[in-house]
Structure 1
Amino acid sequence: MTLTPPQQAPAHRRKQATPLDQMGGTRGLVYSTLPVVTFVAANGARGLRTATIAAMAVAVGIGVERLWRKESVQPALGGVFGVAVAAGVSWYTGSAKDYFLIGIWASLGGALLFLASVLARRPLAGVLWNAATGHGDAWRTDPVSRRYYDIATLVLATVFGARFAVQLYLYEADEVGSLGVAKVVMGYPLLGLALLVVAWAARKSKHRLATLPA
């Protein structure tokens, strides 16, 4: 007779991912800020050419370190690509502030996308969360659940809209150092707060759907 080893213990110990975990943990937060901080510091000390090379070197170093730790290849390559594009735009135009240009307009695009999804009655907070967790689309048939996700999606739209407004103002004012600070402060920290609202909406929706008749 063959005994099957118990399978319940690992599942019992499995920890639910937090918003910080989903953004790569503390290391992911640090990694996201290092190229920006390096670019701003090097630009102030040695000029645009040095800043561009230094930011790229840091991004590549982070990518190599992630691969060495056998982490996912996609974030490593994505980080290097993102810094390369931003640095390339800045190098091409000859203006340090253009390092932030793509991110500024991407924030506007994100804000408009989140807002449009609410108007289309397909709030992206709900679509993305339930797709990632495999909970299906039962929430879309319940107006109350959809309202929770509307709130979360509008919070995300506000975060992206605030990023665009603040950073565009600093861009027009040629405040490269302040742009770097704003990108860091209004990056993962604000997104983390918004994801807490998304998690709240998901929890409220789950409890709501559990009380409805089958």
Structure 2
Amino acid sequence: MADPTPHNSVARAMRNGGFGSVTPGEAPTLQALWAAIGHTRGLVEALAPGMGFLVTYTLTQELVLSVAAPIALAVIFIAARALQKTAMMPAIAGLVGIAASAGVALWSGRPEDNFVLGFGVNALWVVVLSVSLVVGRPLVGFLAGALAGDPQWRSRPGTRRIGAVATGLWLVVFGLRLIVQVPLYLAGSVSALAAAKLIMGVPLYAALLWVTWLLYRAVYGTNRATAE
């Protein structure tokens, strides 16, 4: 049995989740990427609430109806999971986030404030990823090492360099979200902001996950071929 180190604990947690479908070093496939984003259900649960807000606000310009629509959809997703006896935590976590964002908007009376918490999450990731690069322990490198069962990834120039590059790419994406969306928020362009969040959400996440996988495929695939 492996020692209960933080590295092993992270590896187990990630393999039990969607990231276990995209192990570095294995050939990337659309099927595995689809699994990583939660299959059709995960995609619908990720996109539908935001789409509900966008459509409702565009048609009605009403704050209460606009924030109620994604909450109603999230409740439906939870009910569907309960009836089918599947894991409910993803849907519950989604509802909590949606309700919290709606609460901020209702408290302020400004529909654009429905996105404030999202800005905070992106800003937090920018800080965390930046710090991990500054201290020489790139977060994506650590996570990829956990998935690949490679706690010594920092001892090799190839995996260490790829870890820094991949972490930098994720940092750019989170920063880009803020660069694009915050000006829309300040301008009060609610519909444009909602659309930008949808476009820069799951589609961008899936694309970057694929790129990250290809980067690690290059380094781990080479290492395995050499070992064989």
After superposition, give the CA deviation of every residue in 1:3-37 in whole Å (9 maximum; x if it has no partner): xxxxxxxxxxxx95523311212331222111111
TM-score (norm 2): 0.79
Aligned to 2:142: 127
Alignment of 1:153-168 (within 5 A): 153-168=167-182
Alpha-carbon contact 2:45-2:91 (below 8 Å) kept: no
Match of 1:199 among 204, 207, 213: 213
Aligned to 2:201: 187
After superposition, give the CA deviation of every residue in 1:142-174 in whole Å (9 maximum; x if it has no partner): 122110111111111111111111110100110
Q: Provide the rounded CA distance (Å) in 2 between the counterparts of 1:187 and 1:33.
A: 8
User: What runs of 5+ residues in structure 2 fail to find an aligned partner?
Assistant: 1-19, 23-31
Q: Flag the structure with larger Rg.
A: 1
State the SS of the aligned residue for 2:136.
coil
TM-score (norm 1): 0.84
Alpha-carbon contact 1:55-1:83 (below 8 Å) kept: yes
Alpha-carbon contact 1:139-1:205 (below 8 Å) kept: no
Match of 1:117 among 132, 147, 150: 132
How many residues align structurally? 198
Identity of matched residues, %: 31
Q: Which moved more, 1:70-79 or 1:148-157?
A: 70-79
Aligned to 2:41: 27
In the TM superposition, residue 119 of structure 1 has moved relative to its aligned partner by 1.9
In the TM superposition, residue 134 of structure 1 has moved relative to its aligned partner by 5.4
Q: Provide the rounded CA distance (Å) in 2 between the counterparts of 1:48 and 1:147.
A: 47
Aligned to 1:102: 117
Aligned to 2:107: 92
Alpha-carbon contact 1:152-1:194 (below 8 Å) kept: no
Alpha-carbon contact 1:67-1:76 (below 8 Å) kept: no
User: What runs of 5+ residues in structure 1 fail to find an aligned partner?
Assistant: 1-14
Q: 1:118 to 1:90 in 2, by over 3 A?
A: same
Structure possessing the higher relative contact order (Cα contacts under 8 Å, 6 or more residues apart)? 2
Q: What do you get for the CA RMSD once the two structures are aligned? A: 2.1
